[in-house]
Amino acid sequence: MAKPPFGALIGAIAALGTVLGCLAVELRAVGYEQYVESVSTAAVLMYITASLVVVTWARDRRARLD
């Protein structure tokens, strides 16, 4: 079985979190305050998801070494 593409997945999810964070800043600047909290929450969830993928990557690597 091929090595899972954890690096690409982490990069894509973190990039999505960054884009959502920028969108939240833009929404606040334009005056759409009612959407800022939801978009900010989604951005934080993307960063948490990326960090969980890092943990999964580390555990997978450790399991392959044993």
Structural domain boundaries in the chain: 14-64
| Better-scored residue on pLDDT, 4 or 65 | 65
The tens digit of pLDDT for each residue in 19-53 reads 999 999 999 999 999 999 999 999 999 999 999 99
**Prediction pTM value:** 0.85
What pLDDT, on the 0 to 100 scale, is given for residue 38?
A: 97
**31 secondary structure, DSSP code:** T
Contact 22, 46 (CB under 8 A): no
